[in-house]
Amino acid sequence: MAVEKSEKRSMPLPYAALVLAWLVPGAGHVYVGRLGRGVVIFVTVSALFWAGVGIGGVLTVDYYSERWWFAAEMLTGIHGLVGWYRQKAVYNRLPQMRGASLDEKLKNANLALVAPGETVARAYAGVAGLLNLLCIFDALMLSVMGVTGEQPPPRAPSGAAAAGRARP
C-alpha cells in the first residue's frame, strides 16, 4: 500500500510538465527526469531565440506588425516574454522619439529592422518557438504515459533469439 502511494506521488503531472516546458524550454524534460535532454534543449532554444534578437534587434518580437511570428516566438516561454516586454518598452517611448510616422521614428532611432536580416531574425526566433512546441508536446506525452527518467536503449536481438522467434 505504502509502495503504491509513493509510486503515485512520483508520477509526473501532465499540466505541470506542460507549463514548465513552455515557461522554460527544456524544464519539462528535466521535470520528467531527463536532465541531459532538458539542458540540451534549453541551451539550443535559448541560443536560437537570442541569436534572432541579436540579428534583428529589439523589434524582432513585434506584436503589432508580425502576429504569426509573434505567436511562434511566444512559444519560447520566458524568452519570448522578455522579448515582448522589451518591444513594449520601445513602443512606450515612441512619443519621445523624433519623426512623423512610426517607421520614421524607428528609423531615426536605428531600431527599424534592416531588410535582409529581417527574415533571418524572425526565422531564428520563430523556429526556436516551434522547436520548443515539439519539446512541450514530448514532455507532455512522457508525463501522460508516466515515463520518468531515461529509458534503456532498445537492444538488437541476438542471433539465437532472433532465429528462435522466426521459427513457426
**Residue 19 half-sphere exposure, CB side, CA atoms within 13 Å?**
4
| Contact indicator for 69, 130 with CB cutoff of 8 Å | no
Name the residue nearer to another protein (CB basis): 74 or 129: 129
- 7 vs 85 by CB, closer to another protein: 85
Site for another protein, residues 25 to 54, rule: CB under 8 A: 36-37, 40-41, 44-45, 47-48, 50-51, 53-54
* Contact between 61 and another protein per CB under 8 A: no
Does 154 participate in binding another protein (rule CB under 8 A)? yes
> Least distance from C-beta 10 to another protein, angstroms?
22
Q: x/- site string to another protein, residues 84 to 123, per CB under 8 A?
A: --------------------------xxxxx-xxxxxx-x
Contact set with another protein (CB under 8 A)? 36-37, 40-41, 44-45, 47-48, 50-51, 53-60, 110-114, 116-121, 123-124, 127-128, 131-132, 134-135, 138, 150-151, 153-154
